[in-house]
Structure formats: structure tokens, C-alpha cells
Amino acid sequence: MTRFTGSHSVNVTPFTADGSAIDFAANRRFIDWQIEQGVPGVILLGTTGEFLTVSDDERRAYVEDTIAHVNGRITVWVGASNAYSVNAARYAREAQDAGADGLMIIPPYYYTPTEDEIVGYYDMITKTCDLPIMLYNNPVTSNVDMSAKLVGRLTREFDTVRYIKEASMDVGRVYDIVEETEGVMNVFAGERIVESFLLGAVGYVNPFGNYIPRASTRIWELLEAGRIEDAKAIQRHITVIEHTIAEGHPTYGHQCYSKALAAEAGYPVGDVRPPLTQFASLGEEGRTRAAKLKGIMADLDRLLDDLEAKAA
């Protein structure tokens, strides 16, 4: 089985101007830009990809079109999460049939399932397809926090469960999972990029690839090259971006800003679907915050130019 590492962008789903359909042409342009910037892989239909607002027909067409357009140039993971195990298993099989490289799957949300129910959920999925699975531990959205011991159990029971996006906000969990699984589980950071790397993470699931793909890709390359202080310099800018978006804004408000900032970078992808807060509804407050964020993006480009000159 191929071992995946590095900073993989968790992509927005581009919509038409009125939000009524997926904009396939915009998505192809967007993907090409990310590839040009060196992104090693993308993840479709995660939280940032608004997977809960996409119909089954849209999902199927979007996954097929993206994978066909990528044509093996980078890795494509597909989110196959659902509260109903049968649906999650069907999404997983459809992704495999379309040619996906792997799956990212959060536990069943809303129900607050027991550990045995979580194991049963992944059991049904793994019986449906044989793609590598990245567990997605995000207690904020799923109401489930998969402990290191549960991750170890899933790793031992299922040969294809070999990755996890660890987004519990407890960076020490990275170390705990590596220890519990004796290094078998490949941990991808969900936040605290540098700290996660130092504790044993092999990659990063990266929402910032939607508008700063160069910086959010290079940070992991710098870490792997041992340039920890240079990676920290990039992370400081990313932290300012996070805090700027979060000020006075609802949880996951970053989705509308991700799309607005992608447009600022020259790759418009529409706005978010309801009930998420649309950037257009933020008025002057949103435009002011976006202008500040665009300035940070420009600062990051200058920093990267300096770091590359330093390495030359």
C-alpha cells in the first residue's frame, strides 16, 4: 500500500453564482492552480467541502469529474462520511469505482455512538471497498472524540485503516496515537502543524490550500527538511489568518472566507450554501476582514520568496 505524506488540501466545493449547482469548470481551474503550486494531494467533500449540502447525484458527478481531470497528477482523497452506515459504505464504493486514492471518513455524527457502534460503522465500509481510510477525529462536529485506544483498536481490526486526521485540539494526541499503534497509524495534523510534526505526524490536512497553497504546502516540506524555524515563520502567519477569521465569527465561518479568498487569489469558486454564513451577507465587515487577510497572503508570498532565496 502506498504511504501518503505531506500537506493535502481539504478543498472547497465550487458552486455556481446562485449556488444551485457545482461549477465543474471552476473546479478544474482551481485544481490545476493547486497542482501548479505543488500541492501533493486534495481531499474532496470534507467539512470545508460542505459535504452535507451536496446531493448524491452531485457528489457522484463531482468526484468522477475531479478524478478524471486530475488524471493521476496528484493524490485524491474523497470524504465518504454519513450518519447512516449503508450510505457511507455506498459513497466509499462509488469513490473507489471513480478511481480515488483514499477515503476520509468521520464517525457517525449526531447519534454519539458507542465505540462498538463506531467499529461496526467502519467494518461495513471496509467490507465494501479496499481503499486506504483516513479516520477523521473532529469532536466539534461529530460529537465523538476517538481516543488513542479506540484508534488503536480500529488500526488492529482493519487493514485499510492506516491514517487519521487528528483534530481534537489536543496536540498531545498525535504522540498518543503513534505510541498506541506502534507507529502503524499515520497521523495527519488537523491543527498545530509544527507541533504535530514534532510529535510524529506525517502529514497535514490543510484548509489553507484553498487560498495559500504555496505556503501551506511548503510548510510541511520545510519541516521534513529540518528547517523548523522557517516552518514556524509560516505557521505564525497562518495563525494570524485563523484568528482574523475567528474574531466574532461562528464556528466554521472559515468556509465562506476560504471561498472569498480563493477568488482574491484569482480562482472564484462561488459562495457557500445555506445554512452556512455567506460571505456576501457579511457586507463591509467581511470586505474589511478579507482585505486584511489578502495583505497577510501577500506577506506570506514575500516570506516564501525570502526562504527560497535563503536556500538557493
Catalytic residue numbers read 136, 165
Strand 186-189, strand 203-206: pairing: parallel
CB count in 10 Å sphere of residue 232:
16
Which of 214, 208, 268, 271 minimizes the C-alpha distance to 28? Answer: 268
Q: Where are the beta strands (DSSP E) in 89-152?
A: 102-105, 133-137
N residues, the chain: 312
> CA-to-CA distance for 84 and 7, rounded, in angstroms?
30
DSSP states of 32-90: HHHHHTT--EEEESSTTTTGGGS-HHHHHHHHHHHHHHHTTSSEEEEE---SSHHHHHH
| Residue owning grid cell 465550487 | 14
